[in-house]
Structure 1
Amino acid sequence: MMTGRVVFGAMEEVVYGQPAAAALAAQLDRIGAQRALLMVSGTLNRTTDEIAKIKDALGGRCAGVFDAMPAHTPRAAVIAATEQARAIQADIIVTVGGGSITDGAKAVQICLANNILSAAEIDRVRNINAPVAPKVRQISVPTTISGGEFSAIAGVTNEATRVKEKLAHPLTMPRAAILDPAITLHTPEWLFLSTGIRAVDHCVEAICSREAHPYGDAQALRGLAMLAAGLPRVKADPTDLDARLDCQIGTWLSMGALSSGVPMGASHGIGYVLGAVFDVPHGHTSCIMLPAVMRWNKSANRDRQALVAAAMGHPGEDAGDVLDALIRVLGMPRSLREVNVGPEHFERIATQAMGTPWVPRNPRPIEGPAQVREILELAA
């Protein structure tokens, strides 16, 4: 008889297929927020009118704009955004951008609630289960599809150690997510498609987990099917808003298992290190590592991998090969050497990956750095 535990996240609403500006105004009406800090993509703010449209829709409820969050969410930028949120007495944070901005706002929530005043003080709240609960919450409009807006975990990079560290509280999950396919038209193609493979990675590692459960499977399998069909359609026609929305909804579903307690595996764990140490974009880490991890794991979870191949429309085929083919169709990098990571780096990556939350929970047990190196060799 199965036993288990499913955790439900703190998100209240997902709004999809509606223009972001109007949907955000409606959300602020719903929750009664009056002083919003907009944490937004600098490129979107400087080169498009999307942020101006949102500011116009919010009117006097837009109390400030922060548009200086670099990739991988460094501590210094988190503190800068926290200082601005504190100075304007923000009562809601609205993010418009990719995963680094989404994670940045989650970290700001924790820093505000725990009176964190400097980058060094982030040590007080990292990797612990119960910091003081955020009171200033978040609404997210994602422009990429890695899915961080559906998670209560923030990854923040410690610039001194080049390590991505976890900040988490159940209430850092945004109160609402707004999925507007039109706003993603400004996202560079490589970024949209590669973060789509990040979402595929969420689905696949959830399905293949030793801790998978039916609730998570239902979402991950459907999400994987939508992403596997939708991403090539976006590649073929970048203006196809229906395909983009399918990818956004597939991404939402991809996070269902993770946000309900199913752990990720070695692809995510190794990806953390590649991002923090070598500045490899998150999406590219999944493009490179996921097929290799699947091949290394196959002896331990062949039956679960069969579900992956079937959900992607290729029943009976090798899941690693099916994933490899999808990633190649999208024109994404497929090897570590393509992102300037060579065998001379493998020892450091393998050692550091053992300290991530996910490598120890890989479906085929990883006992030490030597086995991580085996996976890295497959991805070389």
Structure 2
Amino acid sequence: MAVSTSVVHLTATERVFIGEPAASAIASEADRLGASRVFLMVSRALNTGTEEIDKIRAALGKRVVGTYDGMPPHAPRSAVLAAAEMARQAGADMIVTVGGGSITDAGKIVSLCLKHDLREHDDLEPYHVYVDDHGDVIKPVFEGPDIPVVICPTTLSGGEFNTLSGATDEKIHHKQGYEHPRMAPVSVILDPALTVHTPEWLWLSTGVRSVDHALEALGSLQSNDFYDGQAECALRLLAEGLPRVKRDPGDLEARLKCQVGVWQSMIPIIAGLPMGLSHAIGHILGGTCDVPHGYCSCIMAPAVLAFNEKVNGDRQRRISACFGEPNRPASEVVDEFIRGLGMPRSLSEVGVQRDQLGHIAEYTMLDLWARTNPRPVNGAADVMPVLEMAY
């Protein structure tokens, strides 16, 4: 039997702190990197409603040169550019983000803006990934950022580990990706105590987003034993941890299990394994329809599993086994799991109108992962049955 081959790509991330308090870990990274002008990009809720950001400021002392809070969902270009201008004026030599997926993505793109002196909306245009008229994914080539980014995630989307970051072009209401190996953060800090302030719906829904990372890895026909092992372990950790946190929000051990599960769910993606239709549609639902990031996977993951089952049914049995239900269809098992967390399960529940489905399908074909779904998707007409299933 022929041996399958793969190339596993590594990123610029040097350290992951597991369970260490964020303030002390950030200060130690500033010491290690010799940073003297640290710019904070943080959740407004954490900044104004808790003492968590003040703890970080106290640990850094005079090295803090500015704070940006309140990044809107899906990181609009205008907000990213505003944050970049603040960091530029402050002379930042290190960026620290504390918050969810939008502030995480924005922090990485801010580092890119500083490197290339991007100041206006259209300045970002040459840097984002796009699909050309032939259906090929085009990733622009450019120099990566110089300023190190340290990320403290408070949700479970997993973008902190990715070299790909998303920002929304408000002019066309389209979320676009920016990718470079050096856009990965220099370090990631997984502090479960920092996450107790995260609203339950946001924690659980973004947790399902990372479940979806693992689902699409295990469902991929391009996967390998390394990716499969990481994805299976991620699913088992998240399948245990998410319900435990729902039952007891103060269960820090369960929160940390979720965070480690997220990291493992991201390893196949950052190593080079493409995702599929659930992620492609999710990008459009977020940037075009303002559906919260985590809800996209809550709604689309079971439908995409059902759509793909005819071509990857054998692989989907591994998914069911991770949830302790090896003899049931994965789409049913995952649907039941998401419902048990109290998350929405239809597009109509999150305000998507039926007359938007055609537009969503067209935009999905512009996403880099529409063409890498296990079951071939050749045009918007192939996307429509999945959207109808999820409606």
SS of residue matched to 2:7: coil
Report Cα offsets for 1:259-293 as digits up to 9, x if no partner. Answer: 00001100000011111111000100000000000
Q: Displacement of 1:131 after TM fit?
A: 1.8
Q: Which residue of 1 aligns with 2:193?
A: 182
Which consecutive segments of 4 or more residues in structure 1 shift more than 2 A? none
Asked if 1:87 is matched to 2:94, the reply is no
Unaligned runs of 5+ in 1: none
Alignment of 1:147-296 (within 5 A): 147-296=158-307
Q: Displacement of 1:324 after TM fit?
A: 0.5
Q: Which residue of 1 aligns with 2:352?
A: 341
Residue type of the alignment partner of 1:27: E
Unaligned runs of 5+ in 2: 130-138
Identity %: 49
Distance (Å, rounded) in 2 between the aligned partners of 1:237 and 1:31: 38
Q: Which residue of 2 aligns with 1:354?
A: 365
Alignment of 1:47-126 (within 5 A): 47-126=49-128
Q: Which residue of 1 aligns with 2:7?
A: 5
Distance (Å, rounded) in 1 between the aligned partners of 2:178 and 2:378: 26
Distance (Å, rounded) in 1 between the aligned partners of 2:156 and 2:84: 25
Q: Displacement of 1:68 after TM fit?
A: 2.7
Distance (Å, rounded) in 2 between the aligned partners of 1:316 and 1:10: 40
Distance (Å, rounded) in 1 between the aligned partners of 2:148 and 2:331: 39
Report how many aligned residue pairs link the two structures.
380
Range 187-196 or range 9-18, more displaced: 9-18
8 Å CA contact retained: 2:126, 2:140: no
SS of residue matched to 1:106: helix
Residue type of the alignment partner of 1:118: E
8 Å CA contact retained: 1:110, 1:131: no
8 Å CA contact retained: 1:129, 1:169: no
Q: Displacement of 1:129 after TM fit?
A: 3.3
8 Å CA contact retained: 1:8, 1:260: yes
SS of residue matched to 1:6: coil
Residue type of the alignment partner of 2:208: I
8 Å CA contact retained: 2:175, 2:284: yes
With the length of structure 2 as denominator, give the TM-score of the two structures.
0.96
Q: Displacement of 1:343 after TM fit?
A: 2.2
Q: Displacement of 1:124 after TM fit?
A: 2.3
Residue type of the alignment partner of 1:216: Y
8 Å CA contact retained: 1:114, 1:131: no
8 Å CA contact retained: 1:126, 1:166: yes
Range 211-220 or range 261-270, more displaced: 211-220
Asked if 1:19 is matched to 2:21, the reply is yes
Please point out which of 362, 369, 372 is paired with 2:383. 372
SS of residue matched to 1:77: helix
Residue type of the alignment partner of 2:23: A
Report Cα offsets for 1:137-180 as digits up to 9, x if no partner. Answer: 20000000100000001101000100001111100100110000
Residue type of the alignment partner of 1:259: I
With the length of structure 1 as denominator, give the TM-score of the two structures.
0.99
